[in-house]
A and B are shown apart, each in its own frame.
Chain A
Amino acid sequence: RKEVEQDPGPFNVPEGATVAFNCTYSNSASQSFFWYRQDCRKEPKLLMSVYSSGNEDGRFTAQLNRASQYISLLIRDSKLSDSATYLCVVNWGGTASKLTFGTGTRLQVTL
């Protein structure tokens, strides 16, 4: 079983749409969860950390369900500039240990 699993997409949505990405992880001892964004041939950029209580940053909302080992990212009012690959990332070793990445979900926002 893959450690961090994501639907690779692509998700093609019109500008202004709401889109949701899901991610499952295999290790129940996982401690920290993140969504990163990666543009083509660029570095992963931290989008947001994901907390048990759920958290929101502007148009972005992240949710964590530890019981189901499931993380989600919701993007409201999609912009053309949101087009990128969204990486689900998990840390299960301790506060500063390695990150384990999913393969990413590609989002293409169109006019």
Chain B
Amino acid sequence: EPEVTQTPSHQVTQMGQEVILRCVPISNHLYFYWYRQILGQKVEFLVSFYNNEISEKSEIFDDQFSVERPDGSNFTLKIRSTKLEDSAMYFCASSVSQEKSSYEQYFGPGTRLTVT
């Protein structure tokens, strides 16, 4: 069964450094998302992406964040200058298969980001 994949599984970085989190969504999906979950808290929406542009973003997704689909398979989240409070699990998700008209979102295994 197709899955969303993410790399790396764990990223440790120093405050102020840039990080890029990578995702490969399910191949026939059209919408892509990033969510984050701070330890012990609920999953929070960051951004959605469709047709090569951002379709929706949350207050969390400020100028330090950007997303890109550099080729036909990858979807990336960049944090320009990381802060301690960016430490969280970052989940990529994808949805909307044209064939099945399904709007359910499927999540990747996540990247644990630790900012020191």
Which of A32, A43, A100 is close to B109, meaning CB atoms less than 8 Å apart? A43
Complex CA distance for A93 and B91, rounded to whole angstroms? 20
Contacts of B45 in A (CB 8 A): 98-100
Which of B31, B91, B103 is close to A43, meaning CB atoms less than 8 Å apart? B91
Nearest chain B CB to A41's CB is how many angstroms away? 7
Chain B interface helix/strand/loop/mixed: strand
Given A41-B89, A46-B104, A91-B103; A98-B56 close (CB under 8 Å): yes
| Number of chain A residues close to chain B: CB under 8 A | 22
Chain B interface residue number, banded: 20 to 34
Nearest chain B CB to A2's CB is how many angstroms away? 10
Contact A87 B43 (CB under 8 A): yes
Contacts of B42 in A (CB 8 A): 87, 101-104
Contacts of A104 in B (CB 8 A): 42
Contacts of A49 in B (CB 8 A): 104
Contact B56 A97 (CB under 8 A): yes
Contact A42 B43 (CB under 8 A): no
Contacts of A34 in B (CB 8 A): 104
Complex CA distance for A32 and B103, rounded to whole angstroms? 9
Complex CA distance for A41 and B9, rounded to whole angstroms? 11
Is B18 close to A, CB under 8 A? Answer: no
Contact A43 B95 (CB under 8 A): no
Is B44 close to A, CB under 8 A? Answer: yes
Given contacts A44-B107, A100-B45, 16 further A-B contacts (CB under 8 A): A41-B89, A42-B110, A44-B43, A44-B91, A46-B104, A46-B105, A96-B30, A96-B48, A96-B96, A97-B55, A98-B56, A99-B93, A101-B43, A101-B44, A102-B42, A103-B42
Task: Point out residues on A near B: beta carbons under 8 Å.
Answer: 32, 34, 41-46, 49, 87, 91, 93, 95-104
